[in-house]
Amino acid sequence: MGEVLEIRDLRVKVDDKEILKGVNLTVEQGEVHALMGPNGSGKSTLAYSIMGHPGYAVTGGEVIWKGQNILELSSDERSRAGLFLAFQYPVSIPGVTVANFLRTAINARRKAQEEPSDAPLAAQQAAGKKGISIPEFRKLMMAKMKMLGMDPAFAGRYLNEGFSGGEKKRNEILQMALLEPQIAILDETDSGLDIDAMKIVAEGVNRLLGPNMGALVITHYQRLLDYIKPQRISILFDGRVVMTGGPELALELERSGYELIREQYGDKVTA
Ligand SMILES: Nc1ncnc2c1ncn2[C@@H]1O[C@H](COP(=O)(O)OP(=O)(O)OP(=O)(O)O)[C@@H](O)[C@H]1O
Ligand SMILES: [Mg+2]
């Protein structure tokens, strides 16, 4: 039995406005859990809050992972604990190449695995020096880039600078493929991808999914879920999870839209 990410009654404010109003949701390592819901319902807010983005103020609830409330950890520690977020809108970092960024990220992860974070700093730094060698890293990165159908020239470009929307998304998945998280949150990884790119990215994600990696897949469309097959689907509506079901839920939504949910929950969930 794998680990379970358990979100309990999570409340989050952005700019003093309550966006998440008590979210309850679990994602198991080894399962694909899709999260759907109308624009502005709080899906990205949930993803950012799980990863500890400073702009999102948690006012209540907890997120339990490996027996601890990760809301008490820094974003970096959450990442080292095996959580990963592929952003809806990836940011660019001028002056930092894709390869450098990824190698630094891998070394940080390895360091954390070799030395517990409460070990003396000198011991952590010594372990960090044993990080992945450049040739070893190149080989690994090229293999993963090939898997994602990426041009090797990307490795030498500055992170996301001038990348097309689809290239940014692929780069996020490349990062995920190298970090091998236990739970990945994919926030609209399909948006902006052409159909061929979506298939390649979905295949890449599928190769990583398995007993060791679960995913919370945020998407608006059934189309992605044809390729990345969820076991469960939850609907976020006005800052709360109002429905959880099997894969058929996405098909029902495709037919009926959010009208039924609005009718059922629209008046009940106004704060
Ligand atoms: N940084 C921010 N500043 C101001 N308002 C914000 C911020 N982040 C989120 N919000 C507000 O919180 C609400 C939820 O936004 P969020 O991005 O979480 O929605 P979403 O479900 O991801 O929508 P979409 O499907 O369009 O991606 C929106 O009303 C949004 O305007
Ligand atoms: Mg969003």
Which ligand is in closest contact with the Cα of 41?
1
Residue 41 alpha carbon, nearest atom of ligand 1 = 21
Q: Quick one: 25 and 64 in the same domain?
A: yes
pLDDT tier at 67 (50, 70, 90 boundaries)?
very high
What is d(CA 37, CA 154) in angstroms, rounded to the nearest whole number?
34
Take atom 29 of ligand 1 and give the residue whose Cα is closest: 40
For residue 166, what are its two tokens?
């689809």
For residue 69, what is the domain's CATH number? 3.40.50.300
pLDDT tens, residue by residue, 168-181 = 888 999 999 999 99
Query: Exposed, middle or buried: residue 89 (CB in 10 Å: 0-12, 13-18, 19+)?
Result: exposed
Take atom 28 of ligand 1 and give the residue whose Cα is closest: 40
pLDDT tier at 271 (50, 70, 90 boundaries)?
very low
CA 57 to ligand 1 centroid distance, Å:
13
pLDDT tens, residue by residue, 153-171 = 999 999 989 888 888 888 9
The 3 state secondary structure assigned to 239-264 is: CEEEEEECCHHHHHHHHHCCHHHHHH
CA 187 to ligand 1 centroid distance, Å:
12
Q: What is the number of other CB atoms lying within 10 angstroms of the CB of residue 78?
A: 19
Q: Could you list the residue range(s) of the whole structural domain that residue 230 is in?
A: 4-91+181-265
pLDDT tier at 121 (50, 70, 90 boundaries)?
low
Q: Quick one: 192 and 82 in the same domain?
A: yes
pLDDT tens, residue by residue, 79-94 = 989 999 998 888 888 8
What is d(CA 151, CA 131) in angstroms, rounded to the nearest whole number?
25
CA 33 to ligand 2 centroid distance, Å:
16
10-32 mean pLDDT: 97
241-263 mean pLDDT: 90
Whether the per-residue pLDDT at 135 is higher than 90: the answer is yes
**Tally of structural domains, the chain:** 2
> What secondary structure does DSSP assign to 130-165, as a single string?
T---HHHHHHHHHHHHHHTT--GGGGGSEETTT--H
Q: Quick one: 84 and 187 in the same domain?
A: yes
Q: Which residues line ligand 1 (CB under 6 A)?
A: 14-15, 19, 37, 39-45, 55, 88
Whether the per-residue pLDDT at 270 is higher than 50: the answer is no
Take atom 7 of ligand 1 and give the residue whose Cα is closest: 14
CA 42 to ligand 2 centroid distance, Å:
7
Question: Looking at the domain assignment, is residue 121 inside a domain?
Answer: yes
Across all residues in the chain, what is the average pLDDT?
A: 89
What is d(CA 177, CA 208) in angstroms, rounded to the nearest whole number?
7
Q: Quick one: 207 and 155 in the same domain?
A: no
